[in-house]
Structure 1
């Protein structure tokens, strides 16, 4: 006979297991609710950023919309509603895990540590941490950060890589953490920080869309090549297969290359800035390999 406290505890575990299963079966959840909830970042140029207060655009937004189209076809629900929810580096994983969002495609690095909580799709970009600073600062590399303040986004892989680099080289710098890219950039613009440490592509995007791009430069060696991928909930192989199938279709058809050229090698809104960033060798290779291997 089970004592009441144990029975109550067992009920809690059963309820939690049921909730977890419901959240894991994303396609069932979408079909039941008649909507798919997808995320966007507000200032991750050119992956995902706000063009108007209520309209996000970007490379990963286009990828997300392609996945949503395939979800509509798979579920035979052409009128499936898409709900867009903003996320930050701190809440993107918790919101996915608890079922608030169903899919996160942005500038999220595929890591083994994150893979304990979520599942990653095929990698669709490769980046590395660098620094951006004002030209007048005369900071040319990480050593130039000594006795200065450097900003980065809290909870990002950039924070970990930056701290590791500073420790390894015994550089005494003050690392300030912000909630997102826009806030980190503002700290440098306002003089609260001497440099900004982020993935190189994000730095090029921020510089291209700055009011005075020529006053900024990206410096320092590239630290740790990192793959970006979409995140889905764990233990949901059916939804991962669908997301991977969409990416495979885009990569094999040439549509992925067209989208890359649109956002990385052409003028982009709102001011027609051009990152002029050719596709890396690592990404070209993964258009063929289509690996979901995490950062090493």
Structure 2
């Protein structure tokens, strides 16, 4: 029987496949949750230990780049609203910044355009399932991490592929700009990649056998497999690295505020509390518990290159 986690993903992915990913969303209907689990209401901004940059404060809202095709972290729900674990975090940050969880504009981004959106100031920060890599850290500044994952493979149930070694000389489906694609480019140069910008496109391509596997973060692949009995996840995790938010390079003021907000959430146990509301299956919750920062337990980035072969 499908897990509740898989059911959440299945419903969301069905919407993505049917309608495609929204280009942007100004979502004013969602409410953030505080660390105790109650809905945040309009009130005073929260002191997170660092001031909100004047440029952001003057706009009266945060503009955040998020995923819109990556359930349960960021996706478009049945009512055409942004939903998911990362979306709840964004609303909580707006509550900290302005005393209003809806003082927020959510802009859909992909692996290939999220950094350019940040650099061009279309968004204030990236919160889009972005693994830390030393290479990315040359162009943006990463916040402290708030989740963790690695790269694995999604293949048909009857596939002979059981590891990354089995990809030699074959075509693999991946997402442009994603960690999986970067790792394959650096570490498996004889693999041909068929690149897409959206998860729905990649999943369709896999079902059409346009590649022998779909390489992506294990957090997404495990749940795609949970909703599709014809698929399975294989391979040891590669490029294992936590996720962080991205701010413009050298923007020390914004980075300090974001890190302060994340530390405030960690101390309130917001991440674990909200994740359990997003993912209601207790067995799945326990599998992912180690991937979340909690009071007295933080995640850290690896030293050196995360794309080691």
**Bucket of the pairwise TM-score, normalised by the shorter protein:** 0.7 to 0.9
Superposition deviation, residue 141 in structure 1: 1.5
Choose 64-73 or 44-53, whichever is displaced more.
Answer: 44-53
State the SS of the aligned residue for 2:172: strand
Q: Does 1:261 align with 2:283?
A: no
* Counterpart-to-counterpart distance in 1, 2:164 and 2:252: 42
Superposition deviation, residue 67 in structure 1: 1.0
The within-5 A match list for 1:75-90 is 78=100, 81-90=103-112
* Counterpart-to-counterpart distance in 2, 1:67 and 1:81: 9
Count of residue pairs brought into register by the alignment: 255
Partner of 1:206: 224
Q: Does 1:150 align with 2:168?
A: no
Partner of 2:297: 288
* Counterpart-to-counterpart distance in 2, 1:42 and 1:196: 19
Question: Of 225, 233, 257, which aligns to 1:242?
Answer: 257
Partner of 1:13: none
Superposition deviation, residue 34 in structure 1: 2.8
Q: Does 1:177 align with 2:195?
A: yes
Q: Does 1:35 align with 2:61?
A: yes
CA contact (8 A) 1:72 1:80 kept: no
Query: What TM-score do the two structures reach when normalised by structure 2?
Result: 0.73
The verdict on how the C-alpha distance between 1:115 and 1:147 changes in structure 2, with shifts beyond 3 A counting, is: closer
CA contact (8 A) 1:265 1:277 kept: no
Choose 174-183 or 59-68, whichever is displaced more.
Answer: 174-183
State the SS of the aligned residue for 2:263: helix
* Counterpart-to-counterpart distance in 1, 2:281 and 2:101: 32
State the SS of the aligned residue for 2:125: coil
Post-superposition CA distance 1:61-96 (Å, at most 9, x none): 1111111111114xxxx4974222111111101111
* Counterpart-to-counterpart distance in 2, 1:192 and 1:286: 45
Structure 2 residue runs of 5 or longer lacking an equivalent are 1-50
Question: Of 88, 92, 95, which aligns to 1:62?
Answer: 88
Query: What TM-score do the two structures reach when normalised by structure 1?
Result: 0.76
CA contact (8 A) 2:61 2:98 kept: no
Choose 253-262 or 101-110, whichever is displaced more.
Answer: 253-262
Superposition deviation, residue 265 in structure 1: 5.1
When the two chains are superposed, the root-mean-square deviation of aligned CA atoms in Å is 2.7
Choose 98-107 or 25-34, whichever is displaced more.
Answer: 25-34
Superposition deviation, residue 152 in structure 1: 0.5
Post-superposition CA distance 1:178-221 (Å, at most 9, x none): 1122211111012212210011112123333x4xx221110011
Question: Of 112, 125, 142, which aligns to 1:120?
Answer: 142
Superposition deviation, residue 48 in structure 1: 0.7
User: Rg: which structure is higher?
Assistant: 1
Q: Does 1:196 align with 2:189?
A: no
* Counterpart-to-counterpart distance in 2, 1:65 and 1:85: 13
Superposition deviation, residue 28 in structure 1: 1.8
Question: Of 105, 118, 123, which aligns to 2:127?
Answer: 105
CA contact (8 A) 1:34 1:80 kept: no
CA contact (8 A) 1:122 1:291 kept: yes
* Counterpart-to-counterpart distance in 2, 1:53 and 1:175: 34
Partner of 2:163: 141
CA contact (8 A) 1:126 1:280 kept: no
* Counterpart-to-counterpart distance in 2, 1:49 and 1:105: 13
The verdict on how the C-alpha distance between 1:183 and 1:83 changes in structure 2, with shifts beyond 3 A counting, is: same
